[in-house]
Amino acid sequence: MNEVPIQSTSETRISPGEWSLRLGALLFFSALAAILLAEQHDETGSAAWAVMLAGCGAIMGLLFLAAPVLSRQPTLTTALLTSLTLTLGVALVLVAMPPAAPPPQQFLRLSCALFLITLFYSCLLLLLYRLVREQSSAKLLLLLIYTLMASTPLWLGPAVERSIPGFPGVNTVIAVTPISYLAMATDYDYLHSSWFYRYSPLGSLRYDYPDEALLAIAYLAGSLSLHICRSILNYTSRSLPEPINSPVKEQQIT
């Protein structure tokens, strides 16, 4: 049995939440373009900030551009193709802006990071579609989850700073945020940048970035796990018996 595409409750009207997502996408892409086009006083730092905004822009692109495609064809193949398309789009923007374009080896690592991060959140969006059954609510929930994950060095930093010395919470907080994966792909220690050092205490603590290969495996495994969870939900919903007063049952009885 083929999956029934998820329909929005409103075909013609755009909800306030949808307009908020579109405005957020516009702001993120505008900020990305401003960073890439600005005069660069610190090439390493500016390029790293551009990469981080590019990662945020890819997720906003997923919400703004790819969400209707994923809702019409909610499959793993669609998530793979969507993630690849968004990654290529961000990569082309970076290539078109020579000051922000990383070296070839870093460019390949960055493309891999963008693809795996976007694939993970694509699979998460498909699962949220299955659980929430409302497009705007699922996208808003995904945006909230991504914002919390991306900002963990800021809002979890004070708690980690007060934890027991040697507690592995520092490395865990660094590993779960997608910003770390993007920064590692460009060999940039963003926690020691002036802005993060000012607003996050993690830069003053002893920490280690996770292995980049293990992080890639973790994102891939997470994407597959989300897909498996969604497949199990689809299987169990199809296995449930239909109510006796459903139209199908009534037709069979008559």
| Phi-psi category of residue 208: left, alpha or beta, with phi > 0 → left and psi -120 to 50 → alpha | beta
**DSSP assignment, residue 194?**
H
Provide the pLDDT for residue 10: 41
| 24-72 pLDDT per residue, tens | 655 555 555 555 444 344 445 555 565 566 666 666 666 666 777 777 7
**Alpha carbon distance 143, 146 (integer Å):** 5
Please state at what angle helix 104-132 crosses helix 135-150, rounded to 10 degrees: 140
Q: Is the pLDDT of residue 172 over 50?
A: yes
Residue 215: Cβ-neighbour burial (10 angstroms; 0-12, 13-18, 19+): buried
Our CA angle for 142, 144, 149, nearest 5°, is 95
Instruction: Look up the pTM and report it.
Output: 0.75
Q: Are 225 and 126 in contact (CB under 8 A)?
A: no
| 195-254 pLDDT per residue, tens | 777 777 776 777 788 899 999 999 999 999 999 999 999 888 776 555 455 444 444 444
